[in-house]
Chain A
Amino acid sequence: MKRLFAALLSLCLAAALLTACGAPAADPDGPVTITIWHDKEDEVAAVLQEELDQLAPEIQVKLERKDGLTDSLKMVGNDPNAAPDMYFFAHDKIGVFAEMGILAPITDFVDEETLTGYLPMTIEAATYKGEIYQLPLYFETLLYMYNRLYMSDDEVPATTEELYAYMEQTTQGGHYGFVEQHSTAYYAAGWLHAFGGYILNSEGQPGLDDPNTVRALEYHKKFVSLMPTEGEYATVNTLFREGKAHSTIGGPWLVPTAREAGIDLGIAPMPVVDETGNPIAPYSGVQGIHVLKVAAERKHDAILKVLDVLTGDSVGTAIAAASGCAPARESCYEDPAVAEDEMVMAMYETAQNAVPMPNVPEMDVMWTVSENLLVEVNMQGADPQTSAAAAQQQALSLIEQMQ
């Protein structure tokens, strides 16, 4: 009796575990479910869901919002029972996941001719070691924004020296002519790029002690001296939203809240650095769809159809309308609704000079090292040359440990 019970229990347990963990039984004629993890705002996800619902009932696409998406992928990305089929995220983790071997090249599904219809910057961002791992949907970059109540369109500084003069004239009594997250690497990178400096190049080599990087750090300090010492996200955005700052460099995510606060918002091209003739060139983030290797073969045909839908112009134009993001497909800009959207077009213009965030794994260690350098130089008054040399050594050491 005991043996019978044990056998029964084992059978039940095995059945339960199979039911719990196993992929749905493949029915070649039945519906296929495609799961896409993402971290996007509801408006963007809703656009994608609506576009992909046209594949139902043959293909059911489930968009699942995932906190800590990249950490989860690191843990389960190669587990066919736990990983999603695709994910929708920025391009900067491509190197990490490609090195982990969990990504399938997007060219397994989308032909190269189709990809020629995308802005070159977006394809460049999606490429790692010669393979394209992302189907770009849209991109975002930082924008120069100003409050028209204080700064008229005619007063918008074309150069950084004009900006500095404006800051000197208007920063008084608790108001600021210009604020930015001066000691956050993502924001400061635009100044470094304008001087030909860089945080990390495409070969994964840090450039914190590059002479051009140091020159940018030195030049940038005088601007920081006319901003609040604390330059973190909450301070900068609140100052601008509350009408205590005339202008800022911020992401598109600032636009809705600034408009809700009643600010007559202007968006302009980035000022050109007088010394180099280059505009401030911020990082750009390209958001798109990636295919997990574990799903690439098992659900090849369904994934092909999903990507086919996503290569259509309607996705890009709908996302632009819903959230003001700039579409990755060039043909979307022929749509009058896109071409007339001030923010989208400002982002498009700024992106001409923007630098895609490095997508190599080494970037993971660079954010903290760069930010410590910025804090030392901007907030503690450290010598840029000395601090940059130390930061470079630390970066090299951390990268060596990674390898």
Chain B
Amino acid sequence: MSRFKRWTAALLALLFLFVMAPAAAFAEGEDHILIYAQVPEDWQAPHIWAWADDGTNAFAAWPGEAMEADPDNPGWYRCWVPAAATNIIINASEGTVQTTDQKIEAKNTWFTIAGPEEVTVSYDQQTQGELPEYVATFKIHAQVPESWQDVGLWAWLDPDGTNAFDPWPGKAMAAGEDGWYTASAPVWVNRIIVNGNGGEVQTEDLSIDPAEIWVTVAEDGSAEFTYNDPNAPVAEDITVRVKAPADWAGPCLWAWSAPDGTNAFTAWPGEPLEDTGDGWLTLTVPGWVNSLIVNGSEGSVQTGDLSVEPGKDVWIVVTDAENAAVSYEEPADAASAPDSAAAPAAEPEAPAEETGGMAAGGIVAIVVVVILVAGGVFLAMKKKKS
């Protein structure tokens, strides 16, 4: 029993860790506070790193968000952070210098920094002029030809014509180690131009959505973009092995990625599975696939949608259209498959419960109790008689 408790505790702990693991970022629509910092002269390109007490980080990766120079207050930099992020580090020079952890209240804050440990925190405004209103921003990444230096971002609202940055060539894009330049723009813009060499070279006007975007610029200034991170790890191809019912002619595999709906093959019923002679029908598909359908007879019979883990080879034993078992190791009883290896593809509906009367199990239980009671009475009577 104690072993059971330990296992339960361990499982609960794992579950807790899973559920409570710090998220990479805060949810949309959070309240924001303004953080100002006045840094030593030799601190270049200050950034801010912020997190909440529960470990939730405000930004995806160190050194955090670039702070913007306040044009009205020379020497001061500023940045918005979610109000729940009450732990701050100001860093600079690509993260090589930084303050100690600074605990703050959830309100606008001014840091005066003389050195890593010489930090004065104030909640009274230390800068001149009105504070800006919070405007949500999104990141624009650009990969440009090597000949482009001083990469800049120009952004505006069309057809209104309001510019996000002034003057041309706009906001400087920060170079990242991965070869991409990055800058943020307010979410109200819908057109951008990426430029270089002080605005001497540029892309055409790009009509975009205000969502994180990756723009690839060619030598001639033409550009393509995607809202899906091209640097995201690419899973290697996987092998799908299938045992299909004997009466499914020419079994095929249909594969796609949910929820974005990207298909691995151009048209239904997908690609034919190949008989490799080892008892399995096999096909190699891209590792990003997370949903499969096995079908036969030109797609006229098929399994339901089978969810699989991306990047893992998979074995599927199909008993019939309703039953398919998925595993990530060759099933031990594959030789006797498909019947023995099959499991329902979808959970069957719960059996009907009865309301006006009682469930069959309840009736059986009562009958058993009655028999026991009757038996007891009988034995008691017998004992009395004797």
Contact = CB atoms under 8 A, between A and B. Distances in A.
A342 interface: no
Interface in B188-246: 207-211, 213, 224-228
Contact of B356 (A80, A174, A246): A80
Interface stretch (A68-76, A130-138, A300-308, A347-355): A68-76
Contact of A174 (B228, B374, B382): B228
Interface in A33-80: 35, 37, 64, 66-68, 71-72, 75-76, 79-80
B352 A12 contact: no
B262 interface: yes
Contacts of A229: 256, 261, 263
Contacts of B261: 228-231, 235, 239
A23 to B, nearest CB: 6
B11 to A, nearest CB: 27
A397 to B, nearest CB: 16
A13 B259 contact: no
Interface string A145-163: 0000110000000000000
On chain A, which size bracket covers the interface?
35 or more
B374 A228 contact: no
Interface centre among A23, A170, A244 (most CB of B within 10 A): A244
B356 A35 contact: yes
Nearest to B351: A68
B13 interface: no
Contacts of A232: 305
Nearest to A234: B259
B23 interface: no
Nearest to B291: A230
Contacts of A380: 267-268, 299
A37 B209 contact: no
A175 B358 contact: no
Interface in B342-386: 349-358, 362-363, 366-367, 369-371, 373-374, 377-378, 381-382
Contacts of B369: 16
A5 B374 contact: yes
Contact of A235 (B213, B260, B349, B374): B260
Given A230-B256, A239-B261, A71 B358 contact: no
Interface centre among B211, B350, B352 (most CB of A within 10 A): B352
A135 to B, nearest CB: 20
Interface stretch (A81-89, A103-111, A210-218): A81-89
A160 B120 CA distance: 60
A1 interface: yes
Given A67-B350, A82-B356, A228-B261, A9 B366 contact: no
B10 to A, nearest CB: 32
Contacts of B227: 173-175, 244
A79 B356 contact: yes
Contacts of A28: none
B209 A175 contact: yes
A240 B27 CA distance: 16
Contacts of A67: 349-350
Contacts of B225: 172-173
Contact of B187 (A19, A82, A149, A263): A149
A35 B355 contact: yes
Nearest to B190: A150
Contact of B213 (A150, A173, A231): A173
A117 interface: no
A262 interface: yes
B226 A174 contact: yes
A13 B381 CA distance: 19
A301 to B, nearest CB: 18
A381 B352 CA distance: 41
A26 B211 CA distance: 66
Contacts of B166: none
A4 B374 CA distance: 11
Contacts of B370: 9, 12-13, 15-16
Given A20-B363, A228-B260, A228-B262, 14 more contacts: A8-B377, A68-B350, A76-B352, A83-B355, A84-B355, A172-B225, A173-B208, A173-B228, A228-B261, A230-B291, A239-B261, A244-B260, A262-B29, A375-B268
8 interchain residue pairs of minimum CB distance: A262-B28, A228-B261, A238-B259, A72-B352, A230-B261, A81-B357, A68-B349, A82-B354
6 contacts: A68-B350, A71-B352, A228-B262, A229-B256, A237-B259, A239-B261
